[in-house]
Structure 1
Amino acid sequence: MSSFKLSKYAEQVSICYNQCKDKYNSLEISLNNFSRKLKKSLEDTFGEKVYNSDDDTFQSYLKRIHTYDLYLAMGMSTGNENAWEIFEDRFVPKINDFARYYADDEDIAEEVFAYTKSSLFVKIKKTGKPKIDSFNGRGSLESWLKVIVYREVIHHQKNRVKTTSLDNIVLGIEEDHETDVEMETISKIMTTGFQSINSKDKILLREYFILKKPERELAEKYHVHISTISRRLHKICDKLSNILIDLAQTEFDLGERDIKNMFREFSKSWHSNVSEILA
């Protein structure tokens, strides 16, 4: 991918590149390759408008890209040993923390930790490059890893449920099919409900409830007062609650008490129902 569109900002890109090199004592990434990766990240994040901006505006765009993390990920993608050592020291403990935070039990946490760590350098068939190469700096590397761990926890927990069900069949243990039907109904309601809200609201819910970003950080990101974020979250949740209740009543003919009981059960295992929608 040509990076000629960045030529008018060559000085700023060069300064950014040298800052990354200085921070990590060079990871053998060329300026040309860094520029290509940065160009894609800027386009993915801000679109073509980034090339029509003046120097100050471009600099503001550049600051919103996590260039240090981007440079480190590029080094990891090329197999640079120093890059992987830095990652091992700074980020691997975080992967472990995330896995233990999201997982229901220690066994799943250990499985997810081991799998996530090893999967980052496995090449993806579609691109022929390791998974870490898909990081583009739009968010921090820590947040990117947190989402990956979260999804893996859900995947492993679902597989664990399937395995348990199979064991029950083999051992002749009767399952509570009424509960299964109930959870299936809840899943349908939740899936339909979450799909009815717009993408911006989903992103905010994901950042707040899954990535656990504080309101202060979200306010800074969206350039609004913290109270605006708080009001927006309440508004989205109120809207979603009304949608879910309406669906439960109109589509599934459930009474108020049934709805409350089902949502109470849902709150115990909500990750397995709507995680993919938010994540």
Structure 2
Amino acid sequence: MAQVPGLAATFLAHAKVRFIPPEASAELDGLLLRAWETARERWPAVELPAEAFVTHLAERLPEASPDSPIEPLLAQLSLAELYLACACLRGAPAAIELFDRNYLAKLPGLLRGPKQPEAMIDDICQLARVKLLVPTPEGAPKIAEYTGRGALLSWVRVITVRIAIKLQAAQKPAPDQDSDPELEQIPTPGGDAELELIKRRYQTDFRQAVREAFSELSADDRHLLRLYFVDQLSMYELASLFRVNQSTVSRWLKSARQEVYEETRRRLQERLGLSTRDFKSFLAVLDSQLELNISQLLGVRDGVPRPPGKD
């Protein structure tokens, strides 16, 4: 590898990708210097050497080929929040104070729910702070794992939710009379802990919204859904019953489910008052569990309905 002076040399030495050294090394030096200056503008009270930041940045760069241009890769990252995370990892008091004020202080509001005791929330937040900021004999604090791909607050919230779920599981609370065992057993797509918490917190509202949305359907659509979900007639059987082809039945079912979905979504957004980001996350739960809730509403208790096209 050719010798590249300054920040470029540091960056190339620590990047997981063996980038081809640019001929104009001064351009890479300038790019990295601007990245450092831009990042520290957000936190003027936090002192972090450019070389330390560039090293931290290089180690967390997205996967790329050796000949990839570096500037677009940097554009994918939240540089200012990576700067703060790096400074926290190095134990800078000003950085830790800012992290407490701008991120950890927001956790109680994000975790608070009707069935979440304040004492439990306090315990969860304290555990999160320790895991995120305190090194252990096994390794660096958790904040070292933040890669800058996404907002730092969202990442902190996911880490905290995972801690909450483990803590609640360890305490083995008494079964909730209002909970639905079948809903609890369904994993959130991708095992996302944040969506799992959203699902549990708003389960009652979700099921009520599905009931109300179903009641808004026409009598014909409700009848069709009962035949499909309760009587478990196949596409072929429904097509024979209504004397139409299977594609028509598929279109009817899709339309009825879409009506339930849209009405459920509308009612939930009005009822829950979620932020735009949280509601987008919640839609993943809604999408994954809508058919299950329709089946339970119609009386199916011993299985999940077959997806269309699997007959």
Q: Does 1:35 align with 2:54?
A: yes
- Which residue of structure 2 aligns with residue 172 of structure 1? none
Count of matched residue pairs: 210
Of 134, 149, 155, 1:138 maps to 149
Shift of 1:101: 4.7
Alignment of 1:237-248 (within 5 A): 241-242=290-291
Kept in 1: contact 2:103–2:153 (CA 8 A): yes
Q: What is the DSSP-based 3-state SS (H/G/I as helix, E as strand, rest coil) of the residue aligned with 2:134? A: coil
Shift of 1:186: 5.2
Q: Does 1:24 align with 2:39?
A: no
Q: 1:7 to 1:139 in 2, by over 3 A?
A: farther
CA distance in 1 between counterparts of 2:21 and 2:275 reads: 36
TM-score by length of 1: 0.58
- Which residue of structure 1 aligns with residue 168 of structure 2? 157
Task: Kindly indicate whether structure 1 or structure 2 has the higher relative contact order, using CA contacts under 8 Å at least 6 residues apart.
Answer: 1
- Which residue of structure 2 aligns with residue 214 of structure 1? 276
Moved over 4 A (4+): 185-188, 215-218, 236-242
Identity %: 19
Kept in 1: contact 2:19–2:67 (CA 8 A): no
Kept in 2: contact 1:120–1:130 (CA 8 A): yes
One-letter identity of the residue aligned with 2:68: S
Q: 1:36 to 1:105 in 2, by over 3 A?
A: same
Identify, as 1 or 2, the structure richer in helix: 1
Q: Does 1:48 align with 2:90?
A: no
- Which residue of structure 1 aligns with residue 90 of structure 2? 78
- Which residue of structure 2 aligns with residue 225 of structure 1? none
Q: 1:239 to 1:186 in 2, by over 3 A?
A: closer
Q: Does 1:66 align with 2:85?
A: no
Give structure 2 stretches of 5+ with no counterpart.
Answer: 1-12, 23-27, 200-273, 305-311
CA distance in 2 between counterparts of 1:255 and 1:26 reads: 56
Larger radius of gyration: 2
CA distance in 1 between counterparts of 2:127 and 2:37 reads: 34
Give structure 1 stretches of 5+ with no counterpart.
Answer: 166-174, 219-228, 249-253, 264-279
One-letter identity of the residue aligned with 1:37: H
CA distance in 2 between counterparts of 1:238 and 1:22 reads: 41
One-letter identity of the residue aligned with 1:100: R
Shift of 1:153: 2.2
| Alignment RMSD | 4.4
